[in-house]
Amino acid sequence: MFRKLFAFFLTAVVGVSGMAGDIPGGQVRDAEGLLPNTFEVMLSPELVFQNGGIYLNSELRYQASEDVGVGFGFGSGEMGYNFGGYGVWYIIPDLQSQPAVSVLGGMYFNSLKVENYFVLRFAPTVSKRFVMGWGNLTPYWAMQFSPAFSFGSAANVFSIRTAMGSQVNVHALGGLRLWLEFGLGIVNGISEFALGVSYPFSGLNG
């Protein structure tokens, strides 16, 4: 069993091209949750490098409690399309000099031009909110670990990518949140530049 896992990761690291299996769409998320029973709609256009082209990602997020959030996402572009669901565990809150820490875990179907993949994603994230006179600025950093399993003849692949960005909340925009992010592929991962806009709103019984 351990030999098979080792062989899988070794093959993924040294033998697979850069974009194979990795999910376009960026992180577009900091480590701080919303208020409980709050939904959030997110739309993010992205430029994927390495001949990836334009990609548009969308998500519906729900903050079930202070510690747990869930969501569903769909993305489509020149590379193909993907959809899937995930959960987020908000481990450490953002308090004074203490940054927030969260972990995302998800499952996705990722269709690319060359192959279709079932992808798992594990993404620890750290962020820190800074209060300004005009609103809030929240820089964040994440590592994304994504094993992808091919439905066809292509090899399975393990990708690692880092995402660095910032969320901007301007009081004058009435709750609308803006995002700016750069993702860098480290091992078999894609690199991309993303912009995003999201809007949180309370649930029916909120």
Sketch the domain layout of the chain as residue ranges. Answer: 2-199
pLDDT in tens, 46-92: 999 987 899 999 999 999 999 999 999 999 999 899 999 999 999 99
State residue 181's pLDDT score. 97
Q: DSSP string spanning 142-187?
A: EEEEEEEEESSSSPPEEEEEEEEEEEEEEGGGTT-EEEEEEEEEEE
Q: Name the 3-class secondary structure at 4.
A: helix
Confidence of residue 42 (pLDDT cuts 50, 70, 90): very high
**Amino acid in the structure at residue 107:** M
State residue 19's pLDDT score. 55
pLDDT in tens, 132-151: 999 999 999 999 999 999 99
Q: 105 or 2: whose pLDDT is higher?
A: 105
The dotted CATH code for 2-199 is 2.40.128
Cβ–Cβ under 8 Å, residues 71 and 61? yes
Q: CA 48, CA 21: separation in Å to the nearest integer?
A: 14
